[in-house]
A and B are shown apart, each in its own frame.
Chain A
Amino acid sequence: MPTLETTKSADSSLDPTGPVEGSDLPDFTTDAYKDAYSRINAIVIEGEQEAHDNYMSLGTLLPDQAEELARLARMEIKHMKGFTACGNNLGVVADMPFAQEFFSPLRNNFQAALTEGKVVTCLLIQALLIEAFAISAYHIYIPVADPFARRITEGVVKDEYTHLNYGQVWLKAHLEESRAELEQANRENLPHVRRMLDRVAADAAVLHMEKEDLIEDFLIAYQDALTDIGFTPREIARMAAAALIG
């Protein structure tokens, strides 16, 4: 059987006997770590706060679902509190102005769609894009998180799947009348997600989270959701290309 030993390059990261991903933890006490964490932590806190606000807003467009949406919104506030505790635990002050500005393109697009009563666009932004973004970031973060944050984040990930699922179920049931708007909203908003990933890459790297992993994990979550909604693999590849090419 062929082995990789003879094809191994000079890249020292190609070491099959090396540590399992996750055992390679960063030093959580350095200034560099805390500095990067102040922005990443703020993004997470702001993301959960905006998710709460967005689900409450969606309830005004879908009054018969308002109760369920309020339940999801409450969960986001619980997550926000958890992540705030993660920052406190490391003695980090979250850079909230940075995070508010970071989310502004998606927030503005969500607010514009809300004003126009565009449920499909609102669901794509919050329940698909932001949730997939969050799930992928949390997945990549968990193996390299400090023990306190790890426990909290593992709990959050379980909840986030139900949120992604909420958007999926609604859009699946309304696919035919939503298709054109979904594709349009994807075109307008996915490039923002790509830019957000690019902006956060340097700080994420300090936390031992790699951009390549983040993008692929995000696309897997997004692809899974679009597959379930009823898009074909080729349609999804076309839609997802905006995130890959940027």
Chain B
Amino acid sequence: MFGLIGHSTSFESARQLARSLGFEDYAEGDLAMWCSAPPQLVERISLTSPTGKRIEGAYIDSVFVPEMLSRFKTAKRKVLNAMELAQKNGIDITALGGFTSIIFEDFKLLREQQVRATTLEWQRFTTGNTHTAWVICRQVEENAPRLGVDLRRARVAVVGATGDIGSAVCRWLSQRTGVAELLLVARRPQPLTDLQADLGGGRILSLEEALEEADVVVWVASLAQASTIDPQRLHRPCLMIDGGYPKNLDTRAAGEGIHVLKGGIVEFASDIGWQMMEAAEMANPQRQMFACFAEAMLLEFEGLHTNFSWGRNNITLEKMDLIGAASLRHGFRALGLESPAPIPSLTSA
């Protein structure tokens, strides 16, 4: 059985979701109440791969909302309690979605393996970052040519280059895709220099410099700095893959010739018949989902009950090959630009 740990994008949307799922009492509660509410297993899911293999899973809402980020203990407890609930339900492989894996990594929850009577078994969990990185690379490779961008001559900026997903994307784009030049952007200088050495190339730039030069921007960093984007100074055409969380680049960088694509989103071959992706504001919620969630499904399809994506900077090209092949085999495809290329003013929907 596979599991997905997710959460709402805001407190208000969480209340609406609670109401629609029949948790009216929770919907009426204030944020303080939600801080004390336990995680909920809200939905059972089953899906069938084009290979004919059928798998069962469950969606767990951690009852975390981004408004709790400033409360370290609350955020930490939400993540650990949701993971405990997944394990207690006997789920073999669970993806940590949205802020869940970010909180797990940044708050160093590896130190907190004991949750009440449960010793968390890390092999039951995956960040899903390998599949996310593979999907983002695929989105670059498939969509840049559609805008007339030849990747062999293109400059690709990776914002958040030293992160788990960012560094994997850099490795893939330099070794497999053969982009002309990688522009490396991140906050801390030392990891950037290390990454550059590891890649054997790439140019370290500030965000502003990189955005001015890039034909393609892969955004896998926090958006706190994104308010500085000046759409007038972007290259045209410019493909922007919004692989961060939450996804709101389209509201910050809009304009003629700027094509923003939600990064790390996949579409399944058939309707799944679930409610949860409605809450994630997917364009086609019956088929679309975060690639990290799909990774848990893929590991279940493949019988790989292991923490496939775990820790930071452990994503190898071989692992991306493996999960990518499974993704194609089981009917997932990376979200692409609509055809013909959308009018930018309509892409914010």
Contacts and interface: CB of A to CB of B under 8 A. Distances in A.
Interface of A: 1-11, 13-18, 20-21, 139, 157, 161, 210-213, 215-217, 219-220, 223-224, 233-234, 237-238, 240-241, 244-245
A244 B37 contact: yes
Contact of A14 (B70, B81, B166): B70
A238 B24 CA distance: 8
Given A2-B160, A3-B222, A139-B116, A213 B77 contact: yes
Contacts of B349: none
Interface in B178-203: 187
B214 to A, nearest CB: 19
B205 interface: no
Contact of B71 (A5, A11, A139, A216): A11
A219 B163 contact: no
Contact of B111 (A20, A217, A233): A20
Nearest to B22: A234
A213 B73 contact: yes
5 contacts: A1-B165, A4-B106, A4-B222, A212-B35, A237-B25
B36 A244 contact: yes
B29 A219 contact: no
A240 B103 CA distance: 27
Residues of A contacting B: mostly: helix
Contacts of A217: 116
B278 to A, nearest CB: 17
B346 interface: no
Contact of B221 (A2, A9, A17, A211): A2
Given A14-B70, A216-B38, A3 B102 contact: yes
A220 B81 contact: yes
Contacts of B35: 212, 216
A241 B29 CA distance: 9
Interface in B65-90: 69-74, 76-77, 81, 88
A216 B81 contact: yes
Interface in B44-96: 69-74, 76-77, 81, 88
Which interface class (under 10, 10 to 19, 20 to 34, 35 or more) fits B?
A: 35 or more
B38 A219 contact: yes
B122 interface: no
A220 B38 contact: yes
B215 interface: no
Nearest to B78: A216
A245 B29 contact: yes
B79 to A, nearest CB: 12
A155 to B, nearest CB: 13
Interface string B87-119: 010000000000000110111100110001100
Nearest to B21: A234
Contact of A244 (B33, B223, B224, B245): B33
B341 interface: no
Contact of B70 (A11, A157, A238): A11
Contact of B106 (A16, A216, A220): A16
Nearest to A161: B117
Contacts of B76: 21
B73 A210 contact: yes
B143 interface: no
B220 interface: yes
A5 B165 CA distance: 17
Contacts of A211: 36
A213 B35 CA distance: 9
Given A1-B166, A3-B222, A234-B23, 8 more contacts: A4-B102, A11-B70, A14-B72, A18-B72, A213-B73, A216-B38, A244-B36, A245-B29
A1 B163 contact: yes
B10 to A, nearest CB: 14
B36 A216 contact: yes
B108 A16 contact: yes
B28 A245 contact: yes
A16 B42 CA distance: 30
B235 to A, nearest CB: 24
B165 A216 contact: no
A13 B164 CA distance: 25
Contacts of A10: 70
A13 B222 contact: no
Interface string B124-137: 00000100000000
A244 B24 CA distance: 13
B339 interface: no
A9 B69 contact: yes
A10 B70 CA distance: 8
B324 interface: no
Contacts of A240: 38
B6 interface: no
A117 to B, nearest CB: 31
B244 interface: yes
Contacts of B42: 233
B40 interface: yes
Contact of B23 (A11, A18, A157, A237): A237
Contacts of B38: 216, 219-220, 223, 240
A3 B312 CA distance: 12
